[in-house]
Each structure stands twice: as C-alpha cells, then as structure tokens.
C-alpha cells in the first residue's frame, strides 16, 4: 500500500488520519473484464480505450482513440461503477484514474457518452439526484459555500485569471484576442447593454474581486455599491480600489445580496446566480424590485442549462458547493412575478469555453507550483474542473446567459441592439 | 330608439333580428353621478374627462385632458361597469361610447389606469378570467378561430398592410423608414438570425399571405414548405408565388402545424404562436424536434407578455378568438423539454407599436370605405383594435419576442451577433 498526503479543502480523505489509501492494483478477473466491456457498450462505444490495472486494453470506437482511460486499481473500478459522476473526479484527483491524451477531448467524449446514456436509461437520474443532493443557500449556508470556493487564496486565482481578476465568462468580439482584452470587452458589453452613463447609481450583487465595479466607475462615471460575502475578495477589491483612486466612487460591502438596501438606477450581477439556488429566485426578484428606480434597468449574467438538471455532482460537492445552473425558464422566475420586461437574452456558451481554455493554459504553466503549494490531488482536481468545464460548454451541457431587463413601463430603451456592435 | 345595422363577423347583436338597440339617453341621477366619480377615483384619476349622457362632465386629473370619454346612454354606463374589459369594445363599436381626442393616447391612459387598478384590487382578475374564457385550439377549434380573423377578405387587409402583406411586427433599423422597408428589414433580420443559405430546406408554421417564404426563396435560395390553415391566405400566397416565378421553390400547404412532416434545416414561425395556446406548446416542441435535422436551427416570433395573463377579453372574443400571448417563461415550454438551445431573444415591443401606427394611419385613410363595405361598427371595432394594440405595446402590456434556437449540440452557430448589424 502506497500512501499520499490528503488534499486541503476539496478532496475527501478515506481514512480517519486524513490520508488516502491507494490499494494494490490486484489481478483482473473474468468478471472485471466482462463488466468493463459491458460499460463500454452501455456508453455507446465512445472513442476511448480503457486500460485496466494489469495493463490490459479494451477499445471503444475510433482508432486511434481520443484518449486512454487508465484505471489504476480494482477498488477504483468498482467505486467508479457505483457512482461514476461523483467518483470519477475523486479518483482522478487521487491519481487512481489517469487520462493519457487530451483531457478536454476525453471529457467531451464522456459528455457525449452521458448524453447517449440518458437516452437509453432515463431511470438512473433520480437515483443520482438523491445520492448527490446540493447544499442549501440559507444566509449561513451561502457564506460557508462561498468561503469554500472563493477564499482558497487570492494568489491562487491570480496565477491563471487576467489582471482584473475576472472569474466569469469573457466576451471575444474576435476569437483570437487575448484574455485580458476579452475580459475588458465583456465589461463593456455589459455596460452597453445597461446603457450605463455618468452618475448612474449601480448595485452589484456578487462582485468577485471587484473588477466590473471599478470598470464602471473608471470608464462610465458610475457610482457602484458592490456586495460580496467572500471576505478575501472584498479585502482585495477594497485595497485595489483605494490604490487606483476609485474608493470615492466604488464601495465594496461584505454582505449577502438579500441585504441590499437603497435605491439604484442599475442592478447588475455577473456570475452570482449560480450560487443563489432556485428556491431563492423569487426573493432575488423582490430584492431587485425594491432596489430599482422607476426606470431602472438590470442585467444578470449566469451559467445556465437548456433543460433543468443538476450540476455535475463532483463539481457541486468538491469545487462549488451549493451551485446550481438554472435553465432559462427557471431564470425567468426572477423577472416574471415582478413584471420586469426582458429586453435581450444572449447565449455566450462558446465564449465561456474559450475563456476557460485560456485559464487552463495558464493554469497548466503553474501546475507544479500549485501541486507544491497545496497538494497534488488539489492541483489535479482543479485541472479536471477546468478541463471539464470547457467540455461542458463545448458539449452544450452548460450555457451562458446574459439577460437584460428593465421596469415594464420604461420606454427609454435602446431602439435596437446596433449600439452594442459599434466600434468604441 | 335609434336602430343601426348589426356588424358582420365581429360584433354581437343584442336582439334576435340582428340589430342593435340604442336606448334613449335618459336622465342622470345622483347615483349615476356618484358612481361615475367613484370610478374615476378607483382608476387613480386618469387624465380623462368623462362626459355623461346629459352632457355633464366629470374631470379626472390633467388639464386639458388627454381625451373625452362620452358615454351616450345610461344602459351603456351600467354595461361598462359590469364588465368593462369586454363591454368597452362592444359599446365603442356600436357608437354608444365615443372618444373625443387622441384615441391611442386615451387607450394608453386606460392601460395606466388598469395597471393602477391591478395594484389596488387584485381580486377582480380571477372573476374576469372566468367571465371571459378563451376558445380552445383543437384542430377544429383552430380552424374556426383562424377563419374568423384571417378570412375576412384579402382586399380588406390589402388596404392597410404593406405590399408584401406582412401582418406581423416589422423591424425598423431606423425609426423613420417606411413600413415597406421595415417589413423587408424584418424578413432579413429573421433570415440572418437563422443563418439562412442557398439550398436550406425550411418549414414555416403559419405563413400568413406567404411573404416571408417568398423572401427566403427569392433572396436566400431556400426551399420553403409553408403551412397555414387560412384558406384565403393560402389561395393568395400560391397565386402570388406562381406569378412571381417562385412556385418551384415555395410550397404552400393548407394544413395545421401539427401535421408538419418531413425533415428540415430550419423551422420558422412568425406570428403564429399567439394562436397556438399554451396547452399545445409541448406538442409544438415535439413537432419541431421531429422536423429538424441534426444541426437544425429555428426562430419563433410572437407577441408575448412580461407576466402571464390573458389577452384583453374583447380582442380575444371579437377580433382574435383563441389567441393567447404567452409570457417568455411560458414560451420556453416549447424548447426546454426537447433540449433545444436558446441562442438569442430580442424584445421588439416598440417596433410593433411603430408598425401598427403605420397600419392605423393607412386604415384611417380607408375608414369610410371599410364602413361602407362592411358596416360602421365593424370599421370602428377595427380602429379600436389597432389603436388599442399600439397602446398595449407602448404601455408594455404586450411584448414582441424573437427567440432563436438550435439543436443543443450544434456548434456551427454565429460567434456573436455582429452579423445582424452589418450593412447588407
């Protein structure tokens, strides 16, 4: 038995003393072999070659395969069978599953196989939902969930985000532009959709490291109150606004969006809705309703889905506790009860895939550093999370919706959307 | 008692022999006067002056008022009180209510008053819903409902529509362009959203007089099968396609959208969804799902609402039987069950107001002709319907949504929306 150190924050320990037990590989029996072949069939023969713990290969379709999936020990194989959606990530993180070849393309094949599976076996979903229930987003629950992800350390995120620390989908007017330029283009796209102008009072729900709020103040003359419950992010955002001379126009408030008070011309939320939970959408609508002026306008930018369904349970458990990407219909529960008028919805799915490609490329450059600073399993978990997110967007398992809305009776709205596409 | 002739198609007769009884005006009692004053208060004192049947005036807010609402007889007053949403239209059509001043601005004030009312008295809605239930849209029901509206006569619509006979919201890249240019711009906007290209097989559900199908064939090289259950429209569309040499590329099929068969690259429906009924949205989704190719794409253009709610009962009963404008959430019931990916939603509310302003201006030029050919009440009913529709869009009681969608796994989608705004 080999022992490796346990992972901070994300990866669960199998034993009480906080270490992983990686069992010896063991022999491959006729039953193991038969089961592995059945799995390949049930998945619709994906273009992946399975490598068992004795080195034996079982090929799916495609030659050469997209990737080799190596299962390093017998126990890992049965764990994977029992709860693949959760265990794949844990076993990969622990080094008990290895992917040889292109990880993103492997995960895209896995998404395709899962789609195939959902067509042949609709029964498994309710069981999976029950096994992998998301954490709740009460005021205290949200605080703990957000702390888990966003308070890892600002330095960690700085390794692979752009210099404005935008941890949300960028917008690439041209696909080959830099991540830095695309994140600025995203902020301008949002500001244009909001018709932002000097003197506008803005409330931002979930401001990350505060980049959008600073951009709105610096380039559009807006006055922004930005809410966030991540302590580390707020500290960073305040310090940076002070340093950049924006502290008189941007105020970062360490509090929950449910405690927003005051009256604003603009409501904006980029990448927070994923953490709100459907059960709170009507309340979020009421928060917006009581905050916006008579002709107020707003924008919510969020990961979403075509059909309602859960986030991958491993991501939800290990990476993003309490996260839930809604279907567009579910998102509209925010707006409909309060008679908000939806003006524009744009789906930027492929832009998010490209954004995360940039993140992953930067992350890989620092992989050894992350492994050393944290732990190899943590580093592998985040690699899997980033690669899997790319695959989720290219496979259309996830969408990215920007919803622009206003008070019903506001007729001072853009005549059409041409103003979004003029050269600035 | 004065008798006027009853109205064909739309306006109900009060008596068995098909004539209206217009009672004598009668005296105004203290109770009548008290009630009228109460109504003005309950409506939030709109900027309208009420004129009773003896010439007595009761002013709301605003001087001068937006318009004078003259109630010509006592019986009309009490009918109006009993069921204002239905009776206002009938009494106006019959000449028992007169509006002196700008009809559209009067109706905008009425919408504002109704919004006020819905804030102070939420109880009245269920009663109104029960009193004024819409007709159903079974196969036979749809045929009868569509016949009621669209088979009035092609000549009637030709009086006030553009020369391509587009009876749906136009798109005005510049607000001051002509209706003709804006209807062509609308068709191009739709074709660009659909990335239409030569050889594409298109199915159109609800094709009106066939203008979009001809445009797609003529300017984009598409082959179109267009469904419609209005006999008069189909006859017109076929004849015109033949005359314009498009009959080999455009086929008009007199059948219900539920009977669409075959395989298509593109599904399009402009202004039919209003007649489908929410109870049939899931089935419509299935029709699209079985019709579209693997990378198929589609667009649905429909009147909608911010909050779910009924169409004005008078419009629904007298003008558009079976019609129901859905909320955006309700519209999404078409797409979500079939895993369609919504790419883009645009709200063109103010463009529809402008479109109908053009229609009403043309209609007014032919008002006397319509009165003679049909009946004064019919002519007044259609004036009210057009003016009321302008007011509904400027007041945000109605929206106009264009929803562009595609199969979930289609990655051959426009990178962004810039292509919609390039000069053609």
> Tell me, what DSSP letter sits at residue A10?
S
pLDDT at A25: 76
Whether the pLDDT of residue A282 is over 90: the answer is yes
- Give the gap in angstroms from C-alpha B38 to the nearest C-alpha of chain A: 26
pLDDT at B114: 80
Q: Which of B175, B308, B420 lies nearest to residue A415, judging by beta carbons?
A: B175
Residue among B164, B209, B196 at smallest CA distance from B183: B164
Kindly report the average pLDDT of chain A as a whole number.
89
CB–CB contact B339 A420 (8 Å)? no
Question: What residues does CATH 3.40.50.150 cover in chain A?
Answer: 139-420
CB–CB contact B327 A332 (8 Å)? yes
Residue among B380, B400, B391 at smallest CA distance from B312: B391
E strand or H helix at A266: strand A264-270
pLDDT at A133: 53
Exposure of A92 in the CB half-sphere (CA atoms within 13 A): 24
- Give the gap in angstroms from C-alpha A218 to the nearest C-alpha of chain B: 26
Which residues on chain B are in Cβ contact (under 8 Å) with A175?
415
Q: Does domain B30-131 have CATH number 1.10.10?
A: no
Angle between helices B179-193 and B349-365 (to 10 degrees): 150
The residue among A302, A306, A353 with the most chain B CBs within 10 A of its CB, best to mutate, is: A306
CB–CB contact B337 A307 (8 Å)? yes
Confidence grade of residue B22 (pLDDT, cut at 50, 70, 90)? low
Confidence grade of residue A129 (pLDDT, cut at 50, 70, 90)? very low
pLDDT tens digits, B288-319: 999 999 999 999 999 999 999 888 889 888 88
Residue with the larger pLDDT of the pair B175 and B313: B175
At a CB cut-off of 8 Å and minimum separation 6, what does B408 contact? A306, A396, B339, B340, B341
ipTM above 0.95, yes or no: no
Instruction: Give yes or no for B333 touching A (CB within 8 A).
Output: yes
Q: How much of chain B exceeds pLDDT 70, in percent?
A: 90
CB–CB contact B417 A413 (8 Å)? no
Residue with the larger pLDDT of the pair A8 and B295: B295
Radius of gyration of chain B (CA): 23
Whether the pLDDT of residue B390 is over 50: the answer is yes
Chain-centroid distance, C-alpha B220: 28
pLDDT at B151: 72
Contact B367, A335 (CB under 8 A): no
pLDDT tens digits, A358-373: 999 999 999 999 999 9
Q: Which of B394, B399, B408 lies nearest to residue A306, judging by beta carbons?
A: B408
Contact A252, A207 (CB under 8 A): yes
pLDDT tens digits, B346-388: 999 999 999 999 999 999 999 999 999 999 999 999 999 999 9
Instruction: Give yes or no for A405 touching B (CB within 8 A).
Output: no
Question: What residues does CATH 3.30.1050 cover in chain A?
Answer: 30-131
Whether the pLDDT of residue B6 is over 50: the answer is no
CATH tag, A139-420: 3.40.50.150
**Residue in the block written with tokens 């920007």:** A402
Instruction: Give yes or no for B302 touching A (CB within 8 A).
Output: no
Whether the pLDDT of residue A3 is over 50: the answer is no
Q: How far apart are CA A398 and CA B47, in angstroms?
A: 50
Confidence grade of residue B85 (pLDDT, cut at 50, 70, 90)? confident
pLDDT tens digits, A52-86: 999 999 988 878 899 999 999 999 999 999 998 89
At a CB cut-off of 8 Å and minimum separation 6, what does B113 contact? B43, B44, B46
The residue among B113, B169, B186, B342 with the most chain A CBs within 10 A of its CB, best to mutate, is: B342
Instruction: Give the dihedral of Cα atoms A126, A128, A130, A132; nearest 10 deg.
Output: -150
pLDDT at B133: 53
The residue among B172, B336, B402, B410 with the most chain A CBs within 10 A of its CB, best to mutate, is: B336
Residue with the larger pLDDT of the pair B148 and B74: B74
Instruction: Give yes or no for A173 touching B (CB within 8 A).
Output: yes
Nearest residue on chain A to B349, alpha-carbon basis? A343
E strand or H helix at A231: helix A231-243
Averaged over A294-318, what is the pLDDT? 92
- pTM reported for the whole predicted model: 0.91
Q: How far apart are CA B322 and CA B327, in angstroms?
A: 16
Nearest residue on chain B to A420, alpha-carbon basis? B418
pLDDT at B135: 66
Which residues on chain A are in Cβ contact (under 8 Å) with B172?
415-416
- Give the gap in angstroms from C-alpha A339 to the nearest C-alpha of chain B: 5
pLDDT at A140: 80
Instruction: Give yes or no for A393 touching B (CB within 8 A).
Output: no
The two structure tokens encoding residue A53: 């713990």
**Residue in the block written with tokens 């369609």:** B340
> What number of H helices and E strands is found in chain A?
16, 13
């Amino acid at each position: 038995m080999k022992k490796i150190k346990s992972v901070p924050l994300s990866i669960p320990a199998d034993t009480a003393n906080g270490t992983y037990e990686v069992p010896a590989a063991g022999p491959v029996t006729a039953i193991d072999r038969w089961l592995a072949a059945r799995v390949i069939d049930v998945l619709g023969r994906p273009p992946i070659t399975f490598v068992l713990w004795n080195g034996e290969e079982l090929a799916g379709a495609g030659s050469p395969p997209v990737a080799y999936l190596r299962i390093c020990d017998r126990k890992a194989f049965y764990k994977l069978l029992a709860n693949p959606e959760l265990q794949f990530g844990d076993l990969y993180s622990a080094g008990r599953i290895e992917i040889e070849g292109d990880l993103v393309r492997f995960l895209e094949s896995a998404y395709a196989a899962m789609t195939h599976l959902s067509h042949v076996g609709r029964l498994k979903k309710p069981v999976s939902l029950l096994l992998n229930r998301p954490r709740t987003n009460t005021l205290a629950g949200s605080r703990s969930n957000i702390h888990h992800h966003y308070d890892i350390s600002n330095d960690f995120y700085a390794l692979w985000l752009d210099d404005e620390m935008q941890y949300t989908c960028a917008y690439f007017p041209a696909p080959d532009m830099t991540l830095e330029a695309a994140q600025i283009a995203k902020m301008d796209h949002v500001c244009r959709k909001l018709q932002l102008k000097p003197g506008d009072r803005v409330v931002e729900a979930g401001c990350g490291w505060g980049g959008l709020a600073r951009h709105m103040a610096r380039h559009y003359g807006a006055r922004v109150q930005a809410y966030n419950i991540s302590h580390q992010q707020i500290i960073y955002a305040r310090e940076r606004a002070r340093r950049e001379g924006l502290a008189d126009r941007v105020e970062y408030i360490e509090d929950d969006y449910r405690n927003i008070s005051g009256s604003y011309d603009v409501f904006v939320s980029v990448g927070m809705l994923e953490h709100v939970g459907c059960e709170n959408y009507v309340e979020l609508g009421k928060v917006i309703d009581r905050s916006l002026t008579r002709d107020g306008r707003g924008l919510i930018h969020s990961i979403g889905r075509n059909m309602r369904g859960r986030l991958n349970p491993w991501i939800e458990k290990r990476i993003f506790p309490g996260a839930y990407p809604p279907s567009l219909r579910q998102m509209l529960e925010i707006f409909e009860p309060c008679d908000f008028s939806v003006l524009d919805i744009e789906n930027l799915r492929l832009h998010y895939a490209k954004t995360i490609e940039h993140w992953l490329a930067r992350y890989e450059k620092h992989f050894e550093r992350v492994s050393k600073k944290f732990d190899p399993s943590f580093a592998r978990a985040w690699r899997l999370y980033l690669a899997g997110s790319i695959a989720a967007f290219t496979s259309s398992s996830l969408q990215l919706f920007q919803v622009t809305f206003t008070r019903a009776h506001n007729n001072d709205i853009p005549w059409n959307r041409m103003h979004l596409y003029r050269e600035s």
